C-alpha cells in the first residue's frame, strides 16, 4: 500500500483523501495520481528542475572506486597517499580529474562531482545498502536479502512512477550483486514493498556474439497463437482471484505473471535488447566488454521508455576468489586502475554522455555514477587500497543537473570530508526530485505504517535553479568548512 500524505502540503484535506480512495474505481492508479500531482505543481518545491528527468541510468561501480585515481586526485599529498598518477585539467577551468580519465575530463562541463559523499562504513554490504536505498542498514545481516529490507531507490520509482508504454519500470543488468555464488546482498530488491517492486533482472552477456535475452525465449512447442491463448486464460484466472479473498503472496504472484507475460509479448521490450541493431562503430565507441555493452543497453532501454536502469559493474572470471575483484582493489591497485578499470569506465561513461547528448536524451535522462564507498588514503602492503566509507566521489549528469561544478571537498589526503559532506539519502532525494517524485512522499510497510521515501533533502546546489531559502552555499559555492571532522569517524572493517 502507498500513501502520498505530506503534512506540509497545502490543500490536501480529508475530502481530497476520500477522493483519492475512489480513484481506482475510475481507472486511475495511485502512482499515476501521484505522478500527476507532482508534475502539476513544481512551484511547491520552488525549483524548476522538479520532474526534469524522464528516466535514470544508475551506474554502480561495485567494489568501491578509489577517489584518488578518479575524481579527487591529491597531488600535494605524500607519495604513499597520492599514488603514481597525476591530475589533469578538464574542460572546466579549475577542475582537475585523475589522468586515468582523459575522456571524462573533456566532459566535465556536463558533470556535477560530489567529492565528499560519506557513509562512514567500510563494509560492502551495509555501506552499499545505504547508497542503494538511501537508508542505513538496520537488519541482522546485510549479506542476505530479507523481506524487511528497505526498497532500492529504483523499486520506489517503479511503484510511484512506473514506465509508460513498456512492461517494466526498473531494469537491472547485467548481473546481481553477490556476496557468494547465488547469494544476493540486501539493498537490491523491493524489500518491504513486496516482490512486485523487485527489479526486472536481466542476467546477460550483451558483449557476446549472438547475444539473446533468455527471458524472451519461448519453448519450442509454444507458437504465437498458443501464447495468445495462454494470455487469455491467465486473464480469466486472474479475474477469478479478484472475486475471492486471497493473500498478498497470491497477489504478488499473479502480478508477476502478468508482468512476465507482458515482457514476453512486448515487441518494444524485445527490440530494446536487440543490441546487434546498433552500428558496429557505436558499439566500439562504448567498448566491447561486458560493462561497456551493458551501458549501451541501458541507453536502449531508457530510449524504449524504461524509467530506471541499474547497470552493475560486472565481475570478471575468478573475481569471487580474487583479492582485487571489481573495483575492490585490495592488491595491485595501480595496475588494476590503469589497465582494467579506469579505461573501461572512461570509454563507456563518456560514450554514454555523448550518445545521449547527440540523441537529445541527456536533457531528460539523469546519469549517476557511484560505488558503495571509496578506498583508503594509504596503500597497504600489497599495493592496494582497502575499504573506505568516510569519503568518496559521485558523478551526476543530465536532466536538471548543472554541469561544470564540484560540490564539496575532501581533506588534503582524501580521507575525510572537508566541506559539503553528502549523505546517501541526499542523493536519493535528488533522484526522486528530478524524476518528479516529491521527496516527502510516503510508502507503507506490510503493517500499514507509513514511511517517507527518504529522510534527506535534494541537493539543490547541484541543480540548475536553486531555491534561495534552501541554499546552503557560501559565496564561493560550497558549504562552509566543518572543523575537526576526522575525529567523529570510527573506522569499521569488513
More confident residue, 225 or 335: 335
More confident residue, 451 or 218: 451
Kindly report the pTM of this predicted structure: 0.80
Query: Which residue, among 448, 467, 449, 450, has the nearest Cα to 458 in the 3D structure?
Result: 467
Q: State yes or no: pLDDT of 303 exceeds 80.
A: yes
Query: Which residue, among 436, 194, 419, 164, has the nearest Cα to 306 in the 3D structure?
Result: 164
* Domain ranges (residues) in the chain: 2-213+273-488
Residue 110's SS3 state is helix
Q: Return the pLDDT at 116.
A: 98
> Residue 267's pLDDT band (boundaries 50, 70, 90)?
low
Q: Return the pLDDT at 490.
A: 40
Residue 50's SS3 state is coil
Q: Determine the topology of domain 2-213+273-488 in CATH.
A: Alkaline Phosphatase, subunit A (3.40.720)
Q: Return the pLDDT at 260.
A: 53
Q: Return the pLDDT at 364.
A: 97
Cell numbers 572493517 correspond to: 493
Query: Which residue, among 124, 77, 117, 136, has the nearest Cα to 416 in the 3D structure?
Result: 117
The Cα–Cα gap between 198 and 325 comes to 26
The Cα–Cα gap between 132 and 186 comes to 9
Helix, strand, coil share (%) of the chain residues, nearest 5: 35, 15, 50
> Residue 440's pLDDT band (boundaries 50, 70, 90)?
very high
Q: What is the pLDDT of residues 123-155, one digit of tens each?
A: 999 999 999 999 999 988 898 999 999 999 999
Q: Out of 264-278, 292-306, 430-444, 462-476, pick the least confident.
A: 462-476
Q: Return the pLDDT at 179.
A: 82
Q: Return the pLDDT at 494.
A: 45
Mean pLDDT for the stretch of residues 458-465: 89
Contacts of 88 (CB under 8 A, 6+ apart): 96, 97, 98, 99, 102, 105
Amino acid at each position: 500500500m502507498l500513501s502520498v500524505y505530506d503534512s506540509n502540503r497545502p490543500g490536501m484535506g480529508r475530502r481530497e483523501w476520500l477522493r483519492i480512495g475512489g480513484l481506482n474505481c475510475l481507472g486511475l492508479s495511485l502512482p499515476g495520481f501521484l505522478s500527476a500531482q507532482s508534475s502539476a505543481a513544481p512551484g511547491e518545491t520552488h525549483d524548476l528542475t522538479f520532474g526534469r528527468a524522464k528516466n535514470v541510468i544508475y551506474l554502480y561501480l561495485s567494489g568501491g572506486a578509489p577517489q584518488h585515481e578518479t575524481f579527487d586526485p591529491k597531488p600535494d599529498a605524500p607519495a604513499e597517499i597520492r599514488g603514481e598518477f597525476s591530475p589533469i585539467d578538464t574542460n572546466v577551468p579549475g577542475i582537475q580529474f585523475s589522468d586515468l580519465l582523459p575522456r571524462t575530463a573533456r566532459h566535465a562541463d556536463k558533470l556535477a562531482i560530489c567529492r565528499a559523499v560519506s557513509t562512514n562504513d567500510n563494509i560492502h554490504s551495509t555501506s552499499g545498502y545505504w547508497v542503494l536505498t538511501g537508508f542505513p542498514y538496520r537488519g541482522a545481516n546485510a549479506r542476505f536479502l530479507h523481506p524487511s529490507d528497505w526498497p532500492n531507490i529504483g523499486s520506489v520509482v517503479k511503484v510511484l512512477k512506473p514506465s509508460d508504454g513498456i512492461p517494466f519500470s526498473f531494469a537491472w543488468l547485467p548481473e546481481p550483486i553477490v556476496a557468494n555464488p547465488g547469494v544476493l546482498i540486501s539493498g537490491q530488491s523491493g524489500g518491504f514493498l513486496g516482490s512486485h517492486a523487485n527489479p526486472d533482472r536481466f542476467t546477460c552477456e550483451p558483449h557476446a556474439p549472438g547475444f539473446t535475452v533468455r527471458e524472451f525465449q519461448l519453448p519450442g512447442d509454444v507458437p504465437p497463437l498458443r501464447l495468445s491463448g495462454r494470455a487469455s486464460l491467465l486473464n480469466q484466472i486472474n479475474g477469478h482471484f479478484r472475486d475471492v479473498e486471497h493473500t498478498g503472496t497470491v497477489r504478488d504472484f499473479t502480478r508477476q505473471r502478468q508482468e512476465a507475460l507482458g515482457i514476453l509479448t512486448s515487441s518494444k521490450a524485445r527490440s530494446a535488447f536487440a543490441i546487434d541493431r546498433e552500428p558496429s562503430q557505436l558499439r566500439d565507441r562504448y567498448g566491447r566488454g561486458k560493462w561497456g555493452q551493458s551501458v549501451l543497453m541501458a541507453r536502449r532501454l531508457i530510449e524504449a521508455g524504461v524509467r530506471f536502469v541499474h547497470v552493475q559493474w560486472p565481475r570478471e572470471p575468478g573475481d569471487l576468489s580474487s583479492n582485487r575483484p571489481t573495483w575492490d582493489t585490495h592488491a595491485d591497485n595501480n595496475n588494476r586502475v590503469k589497465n582494467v578499470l579506469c579505461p573501461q569506465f572512461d570509454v563507456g561513461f563518456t560514450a554514454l554522455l555523448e550518445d545521449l547528448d547527440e540523441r537529445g536524451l541527456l536533457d531528460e535522462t539523469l546519469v549517476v555514477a557511484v560505488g558503495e564507498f571509496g578506498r583508503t588514503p594509504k596503500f597497504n602492503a600489497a599495493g592496494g587500497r582497502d575499504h573506505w566509507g568516510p569519503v568518496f566521489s559521485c558523478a551526476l549528469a543530465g536532466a536538471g543537473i548543472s554541469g561544470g561544478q564540484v560540490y564539496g571537498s575532501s581533506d588534503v589526503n582524501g580521507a575525510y570530508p572537508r566541506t559539503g559532506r553528502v549523505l546517501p539519502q541526499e542523493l536519493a532525494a535528488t533522484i526522486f526530485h528530478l524524476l518528479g517524485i516529491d521527496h516527502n512522499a510516503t510508502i507503507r510497510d506490510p503493517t500499514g505504517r507509513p514511511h517517507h521515501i527518504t529522510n534527506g533533502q535534494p541537493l539543490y546546489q547541484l541543480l540548475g535553479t536553486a531555491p534561495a531559502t534552501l541554499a546552503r552555499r557560501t559565496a564561493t559555492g560550497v558549504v562552509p568548512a566543518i572543523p575537526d571532522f576526522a575525529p567523529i569517524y570510527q573506522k569499521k572493517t569488513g
